[in-house]
Every structure is written in C-alpha cells, then in structure tokens.
Amino acid sequence: MGAEQAWLLAAIPAGVFFVLALFGRYLPRGGDYLGVAAIGASFVLFFFVAADFLSFYDFEAHKTFITESISWSEIGNFKLRQGIHVDAITIVMFAVITTVSLMVNIFSVGYMKGEPRYYWFFAVLQLFVASMLLLVMADNLLLVYISWELVGVCSFLLIGFYWEKRSATEAAKKAFITTRIGDVGLLIGIILLWKETGTFDIQQIIHAAEAGEIGQTYLFVSIMFVFLGCMGKSAQFPFHVWLPDAMEGPTPVSALIHAATMVVAGVYLTARLLPIFEAADGALLVVTIVGLTTALLASLIAFAQTDIKRVLAYSTVGKLGLMFVALGAGSPAAGLFLLMTHAFVKALLFLGSGSVILGTHHNQEMDKLGGLWKKMPITGTTFFVATLALAGLPPLAMFWSEDELFASVNHEWGLWALVLAMLAVFATAIFMVRLFIRTFAGEPRDRQVHEHARETPLVMTGPLVFLCVLAVVSGLFVFNGVGSALGFPGGIGEFVFLEEPERYAIDWTLAGISLAVAVAGVLIGAYVYWGNSLVRSTRLAEAMPRLYAALRNKFYIDEMYQYVIDRGVLGVSYVVSWFDRYVVNDTGVDGSAQVTGYSGSILKYLQTGRVPNYAMAITLGVVGLTVAGLLVRA
Amino acid sequence: MRDYALFVPEYIAAGWAVLVIAIELFWPKVRKDTLAYVTAAGALAWAVSALFYIGNEPESFQGLIQSDNFTTYFRLLAAGIVAAVSIMSANYLRDRTKTAGEYFGLLLVAGCATVYMAAATELITAYISLELLSFCLYILVGYLKRDNLSSEAALKYILLGAFSSAMLLYGMSLLYGIAGSTSYEGISQGLAARDQGGTDAGIVVAFMLILAGVGFKVSAAPFHMWAPDAYQGAPLPITALLSTLSKAAGFALILRLFSLAFVVDAVEWRWAFATLAAVTMTAGNLLALQQKNLKRLVAYSSIGQVGYMLVTIAAIGYGDATVGVNATSGLLVHIVGYVVSTLALFTALTAYYNKTGDDTIVGLRGLAETQPFLAVVITASFFSFAGLPFFAGFTTKLLMFQGATTDELLWVIGLAVLNSFISLYYYLMIVRQMYLFDPIPGMVRFRINPVMWVMSAGLMLGVLLIGIYPGPAFKAAENAAKPLFQQAEPGVAARQP
C-alpha cells in the first residue's frame, strides 16, 4: 500500500455511503459501525500513505510529489485524464480530514442516538468525508470542481438534516445558495484557465502560469474568479453569512464543517494554486485584504452573540480569515499549519459544545448556562484547554501556528498587516474567555438546567480527550526535532512550502508581542466576565449602545442583503418575468410548439394503415430520389 | 484455404437454436420461462466464445464473409441483445402461448443473421443474410397468432418486406451489370475503372434502389411506414428486438457496403443519405408528438434516432478515410448507447405490461407511486434518448456528431439539435404522466419479477456508465471501425467531382 493507492482513502467511505444509503435502514443500529469502520480504515490507511510518501520524499532530488492517473476519455484531440496528486499539502490535509472525521464519527454515535433518520446521517457523513478527501488529492481542476460540488451538496443535506425545522431548511438553503454564488466564479475561473492552457491538470497550469505563458491581466482575472469560489466555501466576507446559520445542523456536523470538510476547502484550493496567485500581480494582496477584513469583522461580531455555537462559528470565520492572511503572505506552511491546529481545536470546541448541549438536554443559550465545570468535568476541562489554545497561549497548538503567521505577515507586508492580524487574535482571546466563563464557570444562571446537567458517555468524551491531546501537542510539528522523529526533518516549514523550504526559527520579539497580546486578551476577558456576572459587560454595552446594537445584529449585513435582494433582484426579476411570460413564452415557446404540433397532426394522416399506400410511399421515395439524383448530376 | 473456424461463435448460436427447439419438441411440458433462460445462457456462451476473436487479424472466408473486429463488435452486440430479449420474454410468453421453442430458436438465428450481415463482403451473401433476419422477424412479429394486431402486423411487414427486397435485388442486378462483380472489392474496382465522363443513369437508379432496400430495414423515411404498425402489433419483447437488433443489423450492412464497395462513387449517393437523414429525423419526431400508444411512440422516436444515425453514413461519403473512421466509430458507439437505453426501456415496459396489460401512454399514470423503480428506469432511458447529459444518449450522440461533422453536413446536424428539442417534449410528457399524476383508481403498489428487476437495474447502470465514462466503449468502437477503412485506403481513392 503506497501513496499511489491513496484513492482508496476516498473510495472506502464512498462505497460505505452507497451501502448505508441503500440498506442502512435495514441494518441493526442503522449501520453506524460501518461508518466508523470506513473512516477508521481511511484513518489507518493514511499512515501507510504518509509513511510511503515520507520515505519517498526528497526535496533535493526534486521528489516532492507522487501522481497516478488513468485516461478517462480520449476522443480525437480531446484528452482527459483523471488522477491523484499526493504531495505535502495533500498529506497535511489527509491528516486533518481523517483524524477529525473519525473523531466526529465516533462522537456522533453517542450524540445522534435515537434521532430519526439515524442511518441517513451516517450515510451522508461518509459521502461528505469521501468527497473532501477526493478534493484534496485531485490532480485536475475538473475533479476538484466535481468534488467541490459534492462537498456542497453534502453540507446542504446535513445542515438541513432536521428538515422538519424551518430554520434548518432556511439555513441549508442559505449555505447552498451563498456558496453557489462563489462556485459559479470558480467554474468561470476553471474554464478561463482551461481555455488558455488547454488542460485541467493543476501542475501543468501552474507551470504555464509560472513560465509567463498566460497574460498578466488574463491570469489575474481568472485566478480572482477561482478565488471567489474559495471565498464562498471558506465563508470570507462578504460570503461569511452562511456559516453562523449553518449550526442549525446537528452539532457533530458543525464540527466537521468548521474543522475538516467544508470551510477549509477554500483555504486548501488557494494553497494548492498559490503559485498562480503569486504569478499574478496583486492577487496575494487581494487575498490578504479579504482575509484581514473577515478576521476583524468576525471577531467583533462574536462579542455580542449569546448562542454557544454562533460564537464559535464567528471565531471560525475569523480564523479562516487569518489562514487567508497567511496564504496572502505567500506562506502555505503558515496557512496549512494554522488550518491543522485550528481544525483540532475547533473540532474539540464544537464537540465540546455538543457535549454541553446533550448534557443539558438541548440548551445552547449561554444566558441559561453557567457553572457546568463541576457537573461535566471532562467536557469542561477539554473545553478550557481548547479555549486557551484558540486564544493563542503557549505552549498550546495555535500559539505556534499564529507565530508562523505573524512572522510571514511581518516579512511580506510589514507593520500594518501585522497589527491588524494581532487585533483579530486579541479580540478572539477576549470573546473565547467570555464564552468559557459564561458556560462553565461562576454561578449557574438557570437552576433548572444546571440541576439536570450530567457528563456525557465515553463514546463522546473519548474523542474530546483525544482531540484535546492534539490541541496541546500538534503545535510542536513546527520544530525540527519533532519533524525528524516523525520523518519530515525541519518541521512543517521545510515540508510545506512554496519555492524554498524554510525552517522555523523563533523570533523572540514577535513571540513576545503575540504572547502579550494573547495574555492581555485573556485577562481582559476574565476581568470583564469574571464569575459569570454580567455587571461589567452590561455597563460596557450601555456605554456604547450603537456599537453594541451593530455587533448584536452582525453589522446588519444580512439585512442589507435582504434589502438588495428585495429591491434590486426582485425588481429586475419582475421585468424579466414580464418579458419571459409574454415574449418568450407566449410567442416563442407556445408559438413554435403550436407550429410543431400542427405539422405533426397533418403528417399523421399519411399513416393510413393500408399496405398499398405504404408501398406507394416507398416507390415515390425511390423515384423521387432517382430524379433528384439525375438532376443534381446533370 | 477454407477456414471453417472463423465462425465458431455462430455455430454455437445456431446449434443452441436447434437445441432449444429440440428441448421443447421432446419435452413439451417444459416451462416456457426455463426455455428463455436456456436461450439466454446460449447467447452468453456465444458472447464468451466471441471474446476470443477480439483483435484477431481480419480473415476472409472465400471472399464472401469476413471475420474482423467489426464483425466481432456486432457479434457481442447481437449476443447481448438476444440474451436480454429472451430474458424479457420469459414471463411474457409463459402467460400467452403454449409453444415457445421456435420463438427462442428464431431469436438466436436472427442474431446469427445479424452477424453475417455485418460480415458479408459479397452482395448475394449480404442479401441472403438480410433475408434470413427478415424471415425470423416476420415469424416473430406474428407469433401471437390469436392476436389480430399481431397477425396484421406480420402480414404488413411481410408484404412490404418482399416489396422492398425486390427493389434491393433489382438494384443489385443493375449494379452487377455495371461493375461486373458481386464482391464488394470487385464492385469498388469495377466502379473505379468505369468511364469517368458524365453520369451513368443506371448507377443512380441502382444506388437509389439499394438505398430503398436497406432504408426499409432501418426504417428511414419514406420507407418507414411499416414500422409503427409492426411495432404496435408485435409481442412487446419483439418490438424491442425490432428497434435494436434489426436496426443494428441494417447499419452493419450499410456500413460495410457503402464504405467498402460504394465509396468510390460517393458523390452519387452521399447527398441522398443527408436528405434521408433530415427527412427521417423530422418525420419521426413530429409524428411521435401525436401518439397515444407507447409502442407506436417508441417506433416513431426510434425513426427519429435513425435519422441522426444516417448523418454518419453521409459523412463517410463526404469525408476522407479519417472522417470515415471517426464517423463510423461514433455511429458504432451510439448504436451501443441506443441499444442499451432501448433494452432498459423495454425491460421496464415489459415488466409493467406483464402486470397491467396496458400499452397506452396514459396507462403509465402515477407509476412513480405504484412502482417507483420502473418509473426511474423508464425516465432514465427517455433522458438518454433525449440526450440529456450524464446519460448514454448524450455522450454517444455527441461523439457521433463530432465524428460526422463536415462542412457540407452542418445543416443536418443543426436540424438534429432542433429535433432533439422536439423529442424532449414527448419524452417528458411520459415522465410527467408517471410523476405528476395520481395512479388510475384501483391501481395499487405492485412487485415485479426479481430477474426483470436485476436486468433493468443493470441496464440502467449501463446507461449511466456509458454516459459518464465512455472511454472504453469508444475505444472498442474505434477498433471495430478501423478494418473498414484500412482496406478501402490502399485500393482506390474516392472520385471527387
């Protein structure tokens, strides 16, 4: 089993999807064990793939990727190959996707117990994971697009899993339509790139772009269209509106979407095509600005939200923004490292909140929670670690990845970008502490809820503990020592890179500042919300009523969209629909249909059912053709 | 050397036909569906033995029949069709007749006849193979002799079949007079050696008569009028046979005859094929709009499909050998796509008919509720006919037209696209019946025979597979098409006006 067979990783869950979708309802326990087994198999196979790849990998000898493809169709000049491309980026993505999905799968066995359509949940989960795995190993943009859309469909199905609830169907629609807008951009971008290079193969397109075979403006425009797709999928401003609503799905799905399978697709694709972004002047600046805007905006909005999952959702949007900032600084190492550490931490947070929700019998409003740490010690402790990790405290995972980020931003764009990125981190630290205190610490705000809260079973706390360990240690991948021990000497900086491998070297000034920012954030958060008393925070909110209202209402972005759709889109659509009804439909469609139907009704009288008439038709046919033939030739 | 080993697969098929008849003769109480499965097993054995012939060097038996990849392609196709049709017939015949041995025997013989039509390289052999197929079909169409429609259909088919056979023979005789040979190669040389100046009226008449004969076989307008009546009267599985095997056989004969023997004088016939293509596709689709009976509708829709296919024959006439290979492989792969979709449709229709005995379009009302699986299969095959993406019909039609595009034929291809729009209307009307209307009062959910279920599921998967992953099928078609043009090339170049 080598890296050439990496396609098995996606094939196994995909196969199980079909089994579960067709026969799941007849299987005992809805076949959930099959789902766990399939993802578990992918998880195990990942180690074989990674081991094979690492033993093959040699930067000096230009052995940086393994590829395997088959001819899909070869018709005339049109040749299409489908295949997989395994390189360092793929390996990192594999690690994230298989680990997080396995944990989510196991967790779901406990969380979804007794839900209706239990088997269907597990079936779609398999397809979701399979399409994401396919996406990260696809060697051509066509396959990328197909799996990209599959991911979108699965998220639609899972967000709308409780389709009896109106809010769930609305959220599913919103997620689907918002990301679709970006996807149209992606498709246009892919077609533009294909038109110029004549291939869908990612590596060939990258070569063409680097060799300057594509005009600057053309390249910029087409890669920006591709980036639109990435923005939609990764919930970047102004497409970020779908992600907070997407928590309407079951909580394990939120964990999956936020950590491993949905939103990171955009980050992945940008990282994969980063050489093209770099070849197009100004593209990286756009990426950076989009990332920074999103990060700041989301961190601010998160302050005023009271739903646990909604706060977490905005923190995801913010961190995704930072990933794009890292990529915009030209550092896939920082981007993917941040993606990986964030995935573990965020999966932990979401599963932890799922544990809270189940432990308190479906309560996710912070206004009713509080003081849960004693009641749910494992969930509380792991959540505590994750909160500090997300806030960026050393030696937890995200400190190291954010340090990489700051270093590359500082190097590429200088002070202004660095300050903005740190502001986002600072804000995250504050609202994460707020979230933790209001949920787990202090006095319970609702006795009733508190009384009935209890710790969740092992099948749910087990994944929490596992992810908690990763949230602590996964930051260490950045160090040479850890990397050497695992087979990629030099740490992640020498494993994932754009042009030259770069070893991580700690910059004490930056690290110190980043530490100070994180600690300050944590302390301020602790000061304002200590003891889960809202005295200080309420005073703050009253001091700035306008700002508070704006934050509470998410800067009115949803309302603005609604206004634009109501006035603009519906207005235009009224005119179009008039044209469609009277000109296209009545004249064009109905008119031509009537002509066609009429000719058919005339012709049918030729079919008399009498043999002599038929024979006459044959004879006339021959005579007519012969006469015509003689005339044509004469 | 007389190499009798060239046609071992057909010995198996013909021997099996005798066996099937003998089984019933000596054991009259045999269950009729058992006979059907025995026949299917025979067809399968035939197909397996044909696999050994893939990629063999072209070899000729006495210059009469040729065994090459083209022949083998039709071997596999015919064996597949016969297997599918006999399984389809199992319950249908069990419920309707007391004797079925001849029916299944003739199915196998008809399959052999198809192979010989594809293999023939000489006019008389080709004619006899064609008649062999026709006689099998005459009997099969009229097999339900107590059914008035069935008998009427058979009678009409025989009378008109004889009429057009006469035309074909007349054309062949004229041609023999002009070219002085009945072998395809001899005809090609004879035509090339002819005096170059002016048009010989005899040759035009000969070509048009032959065109009428083979046009009747594939039901090209205006030689198509027998088709709706025969399709409607024939037993349902035989309707499937008529629209798959008979058409495939016709095109097999046309392809070898026109690409080998007549290509030198392409200028005399290519415009006729283009015209026939245009007339056929338009007439078929317009008339299909007016139908109320399912079998008649399928008859007209298949006439429309033949119109699309005829474009490739015209393309062989207009283009050089490269265009010829491309157009032929396009046509061959489209025939497979069309055959698989048609068989899927008829398997589902037969399963439905076995339960309800209703063959009108409105009878399908609410099928999505009473038997959702059949509704899905029928919808998939109609989508394939209409040429919607991801279904076989889209991909294979695309490949076919891509291969057949020459400057002179753009107008026909444009017309084909327009016709596809029209066809979508009547296909969707049936889909609408199945999905948007409530079932006829009294209809309840019913189950279908598991064998039919498996077969329709398999064929539907085939439709999707060809639609999404056409690579291997196209490769096979390309290999089958090559022998036709390798021989033509070194001989004589087409005469251009």
Of the candidate ranges B82-86, B144-148, B207-211, the one whose mean pLDDT is the lowest? B144-148
Return d(Cα A113, Cα A631) in angstroms, integer: 82
> Alpha-carbon torsion B269, B271, B274, B275, what sign?
negative
Q: Which of A81, A610, A633 to mutate to test the interface with B (most CBs of B within 10 A)?
A: A633
Indicate if the pLDDT at residue A512 is higher than 90.
no
d(CA B316, CA B332): 13
Q: How far apart are CA A265 and CA A152, in angstroms?
A: 10
Per the model's pLDDT, the better-predicted residue between A525 and B473 turns out to be B473
B222 closest CB neighbour out of A621, A628, A630: A621
> What chain A residue is nearest to B470 in terms of C-alpha separation?
A73
Average pLDDT in the B248-268 region?
Answer: 91
SS3 per-residue string spanning chain B: CCCHHHHHHHHHHHHHHHHHHHHHHHCCCCCHHHHHHHHHHHHHHHHHHHHCCCCCCCEEECCCEEECHHHHHHHHHHHHHHHHHHHHHHHHHHCCCCCCHHHHHHHHHHHHHHHHHHHECEHHHHHHHHHHHHHHHHHHHCCCCCCHHHHHHHHHHHHHHHHHHHHHHHHHHHHHHHHCCCEHHHHHHHHHHCCCCCCCHHHHHHHHHHHHHHHHHHCCCCCCCHHHHHHHHCCHHHHHHHHHHHHHHHHHHHHHHHHHHCHHHHHHHHHHHHHHHHHHHHHHHHHHCCCCEHHHHHHHHHHHHHHHHHHHHHHHHHCCHHHHHHHHHHHHHHHHHHHHHHHHHHHHHHHHHHHHCCCECHHHCCHHHHCHHHHHHHHHHHHHHHCCCCCHHHHHHHHHHHHHCCHHHHHHHHHHHHHHHHHHHHHHHHHHHHHHCCCCCCCCCCCCCHHHHHHHHHHHHHHHHHHHCCHHHHHHHHHHHHHHHHHHHHHCCCCCC
Q: Quick one: average pLDDT of A6-21?
A: 89
Residue A255 pLDDT > 70: yes
Q: CA dist B210 to A266, A304, B135, B204, Å?
A: 63, 85, 19, 10
Domain layout of chain B by residue ranges: 265-497
b/e sequence A195-221, b meaning 16+ C-beta within 10 Å: ebbebbbbeebbebbeeeebeeeebbe
Ranges A203-212, A273-282, A464-473, B115-124, most confident: B115-124
Confidence of residue A307 (pLDDT cuts 50, 70, 90): confident
Tell me how far the alpha carbon of residue A519 is from its chain's centroid.
30
- The encoded tokens of residue A290 equal 């989009």
Of the residues B207, B232, B289, the best mutation for testing chain A's interface (the one with the most A CB atoms within 10 Å of its CB) is B289
CB of B132 less than 8 A from some CB of A: no
pLDDT in tens, A319-348: 999 999 999 888 888 888 889 899 999 899
Name which of B374, B369, B366 is nearest B345 in CA terms: B374
Q: pLDDT at residue B325 above 80?
A: yes
- Residue contact B212–A73, C-beta within 8 A: no
Asked whether B218 and B66 are in contact (CB, 8 A), the reply is no
Give the nearest partner residue to A75 out of B269, B289, B399, using CB atoms.
B399
Report in angstroms the alpha-carbon separations of B436 from A236, B194, B290, B362, B366. Answer: 41, 63, 20, 12, 7
Whether the model clears a pTM of 0.80, i.e. scores above it, the answer is: no
Mean predicted confidence (pLDDT) in B281-301: 90
- CA angle A305/A310/A313 to nearest 5° reads 125
Residue A339 Cα to chain centre, angstroms: 11
Q: What angle do CA A229, A231, A236 make, to 5 degrees?
A: 160
Over residues A451-470, the mean pLDDT reads 82
Q: What pLDDT, on the 0 to 100 scale, is given for residue A599?
A: 80
For position B378, what pLDDT does the model report? 94
Residue A324: name the closest of A358, A362, A281, A287 by CA: A287
Q: If you measure CA to CA, which chain A residue comes closest to B286?
A: A600
Instruction: State how far residue B294 is from chain A, nearest Cα, in angstroms.
Output: 16
Give the whole-number percent of chain A exceeding pLDDT 70: 94
Question: B360 pairs with which residues across the strands?
Answer: B293
Nearest to A76 among B205, B288, B402 (CB): B402
Judged by a CB distance cut-off of 8 A, whether residue A610 touches chain B is: no
Taking alpha carbons only, the member of B459, B464, B477 closest to residue B402 is B477
Q: Number of A:B CB contacts under 8 A?
A: 99
Task: Calculate mean pLDDT across residues B120-136.
Answer: 95
**Looking at the complex, does the CB of residue A626 fall below 8 Å from at least one CB of chain B?**
yes
Average pLDDT of span A500-510:
73
Can you tell me the mean pLDDT for B153-170?
A: 93
How many angstroms separate the CA atoms of A17 and A130, rounded?
9
pLDDT band at A367; cut points 50, 70, 90: low
Question: What is the pLDDT, as a whole number, of residue A405?
Answer: 86
Residue B403 to residue B391: CA distance in whole angstroms: 19
pLDDT of A634 reads 66
Would you say residue A11 has pLDDT above 60?
A: yes
Mean pLDDT of B435-447: 84
- Three-state SS for A287-320 is HHHHHHHHHHHHHHHHCCCCEHHHHHHHHHHHHH
Give the separation between CA B274 and CA B256, rounded to whole angstroms: 18
The rounded distance, in Å, linking the Cα atoms of B2 and B420 is 48
By the 8 A CB rule, do A194 and A76 touch?
no
Give me the mean pLDDT over the A233-250 stretch: 85
**What is residue B496's predicted lDDT score, i.e. its pLDDT?**
45
Phi, psi of A72 (to 5 degrees): -90, -55
Instruction: Find, among A493, A471, A498, the residue nearest to A405 by Cα.
Output: A493
Pairing of strands B59-61, A78-87: unpaired
In this predicted structure, the answer to whether residue B50 has a pLDDT above a threshold of 90 is yes
pLDDT at position B382 over 60? yes
Alpha helices in A360-457 (DSSP H): 377-391, 397-412, 415-440, 447-452
Question: How many angstroms separate the most distant Cα atoms in chain A?
Answer: 105
ipTM: 0.86
pLDDT digits (tens, 9 = 90+) for B107-119: 999 999 999 999 9
Residues B221 and B276: beta-carbon distance below 8 Å: yes
Q: pLDDT band at residue B493, thresholds of 50, 70 and 90?
A: very low
Chain A CB within 8 Å of residue B223 CB: yes
Whether the per-residue pLDDT at A441 is higher than 90: the answer is no
Which residues are CB-contacts of B156 (< 8 A; sequence separation ≥ 6)?
Answer: A611, A614, B226, B229, B230
> What are the tens digits of pLDDT across the range B267-276?
888 999 999 9
Question: b/e string for A239-251 if b means 16 or more Cβ within 10 A?
Answer: bbbbbbbbbbbbb
Phi, psi of B366 (to 5 degrees): 65, 20
User: What pLDDT is recorded for position A511?
Assistant: 83
Q: For residue B31, is pLDDT > 50?
A: yes
Q: Report the pLDDT value the prediction gives residue A225, as an integer from 0 to 100.
A: 92
Task: Please report which helix (H) or strand (E) contains residue A340, including its range.
Answer: helix A332-359
Which pLDDT tens digit goes with each residue over A90-148? 888 998 999 999 999 998 888 888 888 888 888 999 999 999 999 999 888 988 999 99
Residues A510-538, mean pLDDT to the nearest whole number = 78
Asked if A614 lies within 8 A of B287 by C-beta distance, the reply is no
Reply yes or no on whether the pLDDT at B125 is more than 90. Answer: yes
Mean pLDDT of B281-307: 91
Rounded to an integer, the average pLDDT of B396-409 is: 88
Which residues from chain A sit within 8 angstroms of residue B389, using beta carbons?
none
Query: Are the Cβ atoms of B469 and A73 closer than 8 angstroms?
Result: yes
CB-based contact, A22 to chain B, within 8 Å: no
DSSP A248: G
The alpha carbon torsion through A17, A19, A22, A24 (nearest 10 deg) reads -90
Alpha carbon distance A242, A50 (integer Å): 34
Question: Among B488, B418, B477, which Cα is nearest to B251's?
Answer: B477
Count Cβ neighbours within 10 Å for each residue of B53-90 and write b for 16 or more, e otherwise: beeeeeebbeebbbbbbbbbbbbbbbbbbbbbbbbbbb
Quick count: other Cβ atoms within 10 Å of Cβ B383? 23
pLDDT at B488: 47
| B288 contacts in chain A (CB < 8 Å) | 600
What sign does the CA torsion over A413, A416, A418, A420 have? negative
User: Binning pLDDT at 50, 70 and 90, where does residue B105 land?
Assistant: very high
What is the arithmetic mean of pLDDT over A76-85? Answer: 77
Q: From CA A320, how far away is CA A336, in angstroms rounded?
A: 11
CB A76 to CB B326 under 8 A? yes
Average per-residue pLDDT in chain A? Answer: 83
Alpha-carbon distance of A39 to A14, in angstroms, equals 10
Higher pLDDT, A507 or B158: B158
Residue A454, Cβ neighbours under 10 Å: how many?
Answer: 12
Name the minimum distance, in Å, from the CA of B81 to any CA of chain A. Answer: 26
For chain B, positions 407-426, list CB contacts with chain A under 8 A: 422, 425
Residue B197 has what pLDDT? 60
List A residues 67-106 in contact with B (Cβ-Cβ < 8 A): 71-76
Kindly state the average pLDDT of the residues B1-14.
Answer: 85
Q: In whole angstroms, what is the distance from residue A403 CA to residue A416 CA?
A: 16
Q: What is the pLDDT of residue B491?
A: 41
H or E element at residue A73: strand A65-75
Interface test with A, best of B209, B275, B286, B420 (most A CBs within 10 A): B286
Supply the pLDDT for residue B168. Answer: 94
Chain A residues near residue B271 by CB distance under 8 angstroms: 629, 632
- Asked whether residue B84 carries a pLDDT value surpassing 80, the answer given is yes
Q: How confident is the model at residue B195 (pLDDT cuts 50, 70, 90)?
A: low
Q: What is the percent of chain B with per-residue pLDDT over 70, rounded to a whole number?
A: 96
Chain A, 565-594: which have a CB under 8 Å from a chain B CB? 593
Nearest chain B residue (CA) to A82: B469
